[in-house]
Structures are given as structure tokens and as C-alpha cells.
Chains A and B, each alone.
Chain A
Amino acid sequence: MTRFQLTTGKRERRRLRTNSFMTALFSVAGWVAILFITLIFAFTFKETLPIFTDPEVQKEANFHAFFFKAVEGPTITDRYIWQPTSDVPKVSLIPIILGTLKSTFVGLLFACPLGVAAALFSSEFAPVKLREIVKPVIELLAGIPSVVLGFFALIVLATWFQQVFGFTYRLNAYNAGVALGIALIPIIFTISEDGLAAVPRAYREASFALGASRFQTAWKVVMPAAAPAIFASFVLAFGRAIGETMILLMAGGNAAITSFALTDPLRTLSATIAAELGEVVVGSAHYASLFFMGTLLFVITFISNTAGQLVIKRMQTRMQGEKA
């Protein structure tokens, strides 16, 4: 651009200088985002490193102790134990990983059908007026802070569930999972609905022309065409469910028990970090173990998010190609 500048007065030079200065400034901002994501990984990993390098820490916390080591006991509940601060520290991650999987499972089981059904209805059947109500409702739902959902599950939902189903423990995987599911619905709904809306009109018209009803068209034509987006919404919801903290910290019951029963209280990776990091000695094996969980969460969510985004992008490209 500067090549065509003919005048070289003082004011012009200042304008050009400002311009190059701003270009530099914006470029720096562009780098900062990458810098921080690298830093986030680097620092979470740096605090995890002693597990791989420090023999003192390794005595207590190592890969074998996390995933395989079991103590003697009659049931699996006695064999895999997370008690990092006892005299003989036991740092099996099995109960915690199991707890994470249980709450995630219930959460997805609750949210996936509900979110997709609502998205299908909103995109294919709802009158415009109704759609204008559904979208803000979903947005409000997404706007509820997770600490509020955790509070609701702990104080209200747990009591209701216990009264209705007669659970032995107030706080269990059902209670926590449903609360978690409420947080997942907006993710599943929004992404699925975007995917359904992106299916070209021609698909529907062709289906109608062949004599299919509106429901048949929605179910057998539109939904399969949007399947990648729906799948991606599940993957992204999974990433959110694995990492969600406050809901599980408050409504999960905070007991790291190795148990497959959904009626038992549980403890997730995220809730363990939240509950224990405040009192841990910086640099200890326990501290490194908590950061190891953080790294684990980071890696799992990183993979699931990248996969989800990739699927969405592919579908967008394909749909755009077919529209043209």
C-alpha cells in the first residue's frame, strides 16, 4: 500500500507510522492466544513432571500406583483406594476414574436423547413462534452458572430423588448425572440444531416428493444427513462432562469409592482436584498426583474437542458443497 503514497508530509508519515505500529500490535495479540494455550499445557504438565522424574515422588505416585496397584481385599472396593494423605498413601485413580465415567454416563444418557429430540422438533416441526421461545430458553439454561446447578442438585434434586426412588445415599451418580445432564443439554441442542438446519432443502423436498410424511422425512432423511453434527455434539458434551467441576463437587457425594453401582456416592477427577488442592503441600507426591489428573483432563478434553470440531467442519464443507 505504501508504494502508492505520493505525499510524504509530516502528517502522512505519522499516519503510516501509526499503521505499522498497529499492525505489529495486532500481530502480537495473535501470538498471545497460542502462547497461552502452550503455557497452560506446559505448566499443568510441569507440575506433573515429578511423577516421571523425581524418585522421591515416584516412591508414592507413579503410573503403576495410579492404574494397576491394588491392595489385598475381598472386593474391588477394598482393593483400589484413593487415600493420598493416610500414613501409607494409596493413590489408585481407579475409584476416581470410575466416578468420572459414571457421572458422565448418566449425564450423557439423560441429555443426549433430550437434546437431540428437542433439536429435531425445533428445526423440523416447531412453528416459528415456538422456535423463538425455545432458543432463549436454551440460552438461559446455558447461562446458569454450574455452581447454581450444583446447589440445586445438592439441596433440592437430591431430596426429591431420594423421596421418589428411595436411594440409600442422597448423593449418587443419578443425582449428579442428571444435574450434569442439564448443563449438557444446551451444548447438544445447539450443535445438533445447527447441523439439522444445515441440511439442504432439496433433501426434504425430494423426500416429500417420494411421498414421505414430515416425520419420516425428519427421521429418515434429515437426521441421518445431520448425523455427523449430532455425533459431534455428543463428543463435545462428553468433553464438557468429563471436566465439569462444581456440579460434581457439590452433588456427587465426594466419596472416592470403587463401585459400579450408580446409587453409590462418587468422586470425579475434577472434584478431587477441587476438593484437595487447597490443602495439599506444594511439590509433594499428592500435589503432583492432582496435577497429573489435571493433565489427564486436559488431554482427554483436547482430543474430544479436536475430534468434535473436525467432524463439524467436515460436515459444513460437505453441506456447502451440496448446496452450491
Chain B
Amino acid sequence: MASSRLHLQGGRRISDHVAVTLLGLSVVLIVAILAVIVGNIVVNGFSSVTWEFVSQAPREGLTAGGIFPAIVGTAALVLLMTIAAVPLGVATAVYLHEYTPAEGLRLAWSRYKTSKGRPGRSKLFLRFLSALLATVTRSAVANLAGVPSIVFGLFGLGFFIQFVGRNIDRATQPPGELMWGQGSLLWAALTLALLTLPTVIVATEEALRTVPQDQREASLALGATQWETIRRIVLPGSVSGILTGAILGISRGAGEVAPILFTGAAYYLPHLPRAVTDQFMHLGYHVLILSTQSPDVEATKPLLYGTVFVLLMLTFLLNLTGVIIRTRTRSRLKA
């Protein structure tokens, strides 16, 4: 008996080891995939990135020159997107976390239901409505995060350009003239802002949750209004978390191409965008153009790799900044 059990355990141990090794290999494989992709791009792209490359416009049908207009276009786009998405996202999260009832939908409803005949019942009902709004908003936001980016592109075209833009033109421009009713930096930035909004909202709400309730109560007890409490206590306490969410959202927006395909990205422009109604060149879109529509694939390869390298570094740097800020905050919270 004893020996057979030992034997069983021995067999089990070996198959265990094999299984765990296999699981470990999957991690190794994932790390290897990342290493191969990044390695390939760095090795082939790094040598293309010269001062000329980042400071000049493309020449000779995109087979020579640099990517300066694409860098400027991407930067302008990301900046406009940030201005639109971050304040709105933070405000929505503050509303959800600070202004809606903390007890949740079910409790709010049962409190209202059991309050029959007591004074202040209408207030409880309003509280329930507010909780309902919060629940609906939260699930709307969660769903917005999963909507495919190409659908945002369709929306940008259908809503911002065809609806808002064309109507502004109808009101302000001579007939037949298009100024707002076509793809532009502004419409592309707003489309991307919608795409990044969920990331910002979710991250900000998470950051607000880390501020202890006692601090809010102490502030209110000292006579501060709710807004004063938010401005002096809640926001300063959660700023790094909000920053992380904002940066991660921006980084996602910076790399997206599908939403800007029809809302303002241009194949090639001889000049930099001068107004928000101008079209623009974009690093990601440039990658798409160079890799799918190049007349001479071999000749454009160094430029293509260089562009991918710059785009990848841009998003990685943004990501890294976000992750570092978060790690620091977490370790500070633990201490």
C-alpha cells in the first residue's frame, strides 16, 4: 500500500512538473512574441530615424524624405483630443462617484419602497432616480469601451461631418462651400476623444475610490461645501490616478487609425495644418499608406520601418509614463 501510494505521488509529481512547465512556456511564448515584434521594428527602424527623417516632409511620392508633417499632425490631433476627452471624462467620473448615491440601485429602491407615509419620501425617490442614472451611465460607459473603433469612424463621419459640420456650413458659408462639413483635425480629434472617454472615466472613478471617505466627511464637517471638498480634498488625493488613466487613454488614442480614416487624415499634404478645419497627416495612417499603397515596396521599407518605430516609441513612452505613475502611487498607498 505505502509503496504504491508513494509511486502514485512520484508519478503525479512528474506530470505536475510537465504541466506547470507547459503553462510557464505559454508565458515565455508571449514574452517572445513581444520581443520579436519590438526587436524586429527596433533593429530595422532605428537606423532610419535620423534628424532629416523627423524634420522633413516626404518627397518623391512618399519614397524619400521624412515624416515631419505626420509627427506634427499626430501631436496636434492628440493635443486636441486630450483637451476634449480629459476634462469631460474626469467630470463624468466625479459626477458618478461624488454626486450619485453610494448605496447603489437596489438599496435606494428598497429604501424608497419601505418609506411609505414618512416625510421626505420624494427625496428618496429622487435618490433612486439618481442611482438609476448612475447605473445606466456606468453600463453605457462600459459598452462604449467595447464599441469597435471603426464604428467610431462611421459615427464621426455621420454625426460630426455630415450632420454638425454640414449644418454649420449651411448657416455660415456661401452655398456649395465646405469648411466644416469635411474631414478635419477637429472632427478627427472629437471622434478620438469619444473613443478615449471610457478609459478616462473608468480610471478616474477608480482613483476617486482610493480617497478615504473619512476625509470627505471631515471636510464637510468643517463647513466646506461639496465642491470645496472635491477641489481641495478629493481631486488632490486622486490626481496621480487620474493622470495615469488620462495618459493610458491618450496613448490608446494616439495609435488608433480606424476612427480617423474618414474624419480627416490625409494621404499627403504639402503643408502643415494651420487651422482645426484643416486635414492632417498622421503617423498611423502613414504606416497604413506606406505598407499598402506604396508603388515600390522595397524602396519605402526603410521609411516604413522608421515611421513604425517612431509611432511605437511614442505609444510606449506614453504607456510607460502612465504605468510608472501608477506603480509609484500604489507603493505610496501601501506605505
Contact = CB atoms under 8 A, between A and B. Distances in A.
Contacts, number: 265
A34 interface: yes
Given A125-B23, A245-B257, 10 more contacts: A26-B91, A37-B144, A120-B23, A137-B31, A143-B316, A156-B40, A274-B150, A282-B162, A297-B148, A306-B139
A47 B162 CA distance: 10
B93 to A, nearest CB: 9
13 contacts: A29-B95, A34-B137, A39-B159, A125-B23, A139-B319, A147-B284, A147-B285, A148-B41, A149-B37, A156-B40, A213-B13, A277-B262, A309-B139
Contacts of A29: 88, 91-92, 94-95
Residue from the set B134, B153, B258 with the largest chain A CB neighbour count within 10 Å:
B258
B186 interface: no
B49 interface: no
B221 to A, nearest CB: 11
Interface of A: 1, 15-16, 18-19, 22-23, 25-27, 29-34, 36-37, 39-40, 43-44, 46-47, 113-114, 117-118, 120-122, 125-126, 130, 133-134, 136-141, 143-152, 154-156, 182, 185, 189, 213-216, 219, 236, 239-240, 242-246, 249-250, 270, 273-274, 277-278, 282, 290-291, 294, 297-298, 301-302, 304-306, 309
Binding site of B, secondary structure by majority: helix, strand, loop or mixed? helix
B34 A33 contact: no
A309 B228 contact: no
Interface string B272-305: 0000000000001101100110000000010010
A274 B261 contact: yes
Contacts of B285: 147
Interface of B: 12-13, 15-16, 19-20, 22-24, 26-27, 29-31, 33-34, 37-38, 40-41, 88, 91-92, 94-96, 98-100, 133-134, 136-137, 139-155, 157-159, 162-163, 194, 197, 201, 220, 225-228, 230, 251-252, 254-258, 261-262, 284-285, 287-288, 291-292, 301, 304, 308, 311-312, 315-316, 319, 323
A294 B150 contact: yes
Contacts of B311: 145, 147-148
Residue from the set B34, B149, B150 with the largest chain A CB neighbour count within 10 Å:
B150
